[in-house]
Amino acid sequence: MRVAVAGSALLVAAGLAAFWYASGVARKAPPKAADHAVTVTIQGNVCQPNEITVPAGRTTFTIVNQSSRALEWEILDGVMVVEERENIAPGFSQTMTVKLPPGEFDITCGLLSNPRGKLRVTPSAASDAEAARPSLVNYVGALAEYRVFLALESGALQDAAQALADAIQAGDLKQAQALYAPAHQAYKRIEPMAERFADLDTRLNARADYFEKREADPAFSGFHRIEHGLFGPDAAKGDVKALAPVATQLVADVGTLKERLRALNVPPERLASSGAKLLRRVADNLPAGGEDHEGHGELVNLQGTFEGTKKIADLLSPLLAKASPELQKGIDQRFAAFAAALDPYREGEGFKAVSLDEAQRKALAAPVLALADEMAKVNAALGLE
């Protein structure tokens, strides 16, 4: 009996000691989330901090805008956009969680003309596990078909851009106005991958809001510069041929984009994540005015976004239907809701030339955002995270 009591006392003492030790370790160890969370504050034309080091794996960035302008923040791998947040209003913040491999990246800081910072990602257990993940042979067919889609659609974009440039160089305002929306829609179909090339996306599709002098900024070019010239306040009395250099550069940049897309290696996890990111950005932009508000081409753009992201969803659907039938059903329903939201504005094979008010923009943004949320779940369901 004495031995048993003594043994019990020793076990209790050992348990208390273990509890005390574990509690002490827990008190000393920082929270796991804090190890992979970074706050970046934008003030004027600089970010604080402007040089960041994080371990490979998932990091949550909180971007705080303390400037006087709506801004964006991007992580760039050379000219490739890894992740971004746009339309961060003055005095507000946005967060994004991104899985990063080891390496060194650039970060943009607010306006596109501001100096860039550095993001260094060090190796970690997460990156070692990523390197050892199973074969992705099941995605070969989907990725091959998507490469064909990108090649065909970038060819269609090149033809549309050239037709637009020809009308501008001929000084034909009405023809150029008619050709603008189809050309921009062609870009929208491939935008999930096209926007990965930061330099080309800036030249082809950046809005005036992201340049210091807005429409008067020398770096403002591409579709929205042409839109401003064709539909802006001075379009009727202006010389359309003055846009010829911009149109020529547009055609050249589209040609470069076509070549880059042909050589682009798209990892499987980029398919759904790129579609989800674009849909979320479109939903965020719509209530604030959207794109092509001068040319009233938002509906045409939305149709292009619908078609481009639907292609990605269709390619992944055979795999997703097996892995998560409920999620596949939800995505189908969200695409149907997106299409239904556009239906009242359709006219023949196109759309009515209408100016959307705030309520209409918000009504269109709702199904787009809901679809973005569903698409964001795909990688986890397929084991790609």
- The first and second tokens of residue 97, run together, are 């969680």
- Does a structural domain hold residue 6? no
Looking at per-residue pLDDT, the higher value among 297 and 247 belongs to: 247
At 87, is the pLDDT very low, low, confident or very high (cuts 50, 70, 90)? confident
Domain that includes residue 187, residue range? 137-381
Q: Looking at the structure, do residues 148 and 113 belong to the same domain, yes or no?
A: no
Q: Looking at the structure, do residues 118 and 175 belong to the same domain, yes or no?
A: no
- Does a structural domain hold residue 144? yes
Q: What is the CATH number of the domain that holds 156?
A: 1.20.1420.20
Please report the pLDDT score of residue 374 as a whole number: 98
Measure CA of the first residue to CA of the last residue in the chain; give whole Å.
56
The last residue of a domain, from among 71, 92, 124? 124
Please report the pLDDT score of residue 131 as a whole number: 64
- Over residues 163-173, mean pLDDT: 96
The last residue of a domain, from among 102, 124, 146? 124
At 327, is the pLDDT very low, low, confident or very high (cuts 50, 70, 90)? very high
CB 340 within 8 A of CB 303: no
CB 300 within 8 A of CB 266: no
Does residue 16 have a pLDDT over 50? no
> What pTM was computed for the model?
0.78
pLDDT digits (tens, 9 = 90+) for 233-272: 877 777 899 999 999 999 999 999 999 999 999 999 999 9
pLDDT above 70 as % of the chain? 89
Whole-angstrom distance, CA of residue 193 vs CA of residue 112:
20
Looking at per-residue pLDDT, the higher value among 122 and 8 belongs to: 122
Does residue 46 have a pLDDT over 80? yes
- Does a structural domain hold residue 16? no
Burial class (CB in 10 A: 0-12, 13-18, 19+), 133: exposed
- Does a structural domain hold residue 189? yes
Query: Which CA distances in Å does 317 have to 152, 192, 267, 330?
Result: 21, 18, 17, 11
Q: Looking at the structure, do residues 233 and 305 belong to the same domain, yes or no?
A: yes
Query: Which CA distances in Å does 313 have to 131, 145, 309, 343, 359?
Result: 26, 12, 6, 21, 28
Whole-angstrom distance, CA of residue 309 vs CA of residue 189:
8
Q: Looking at the structure, do residues 266 and 337 belong to the same domain, yes or no?
A: yes
Q: Looking at the structure, do residues 188 and 274 belong to the same domain, yes or no?
A: yes
Identify the top-confidence range among 125-134, 201-210, 230-239: 201-210
Indicate the average pLDDT of the chain: 87
Q: Looking at the structure, do residues 120 and 159 belong to the same domain, yes or no?
A: no
- Does a structural domain hold residue 13? no
Q: Looking at the structure, do residues 263 and 340 belong to the same domain, yes or no?
A: yes
- Does a structural domain hold residue 342? yes
Domain count within the chain: 2
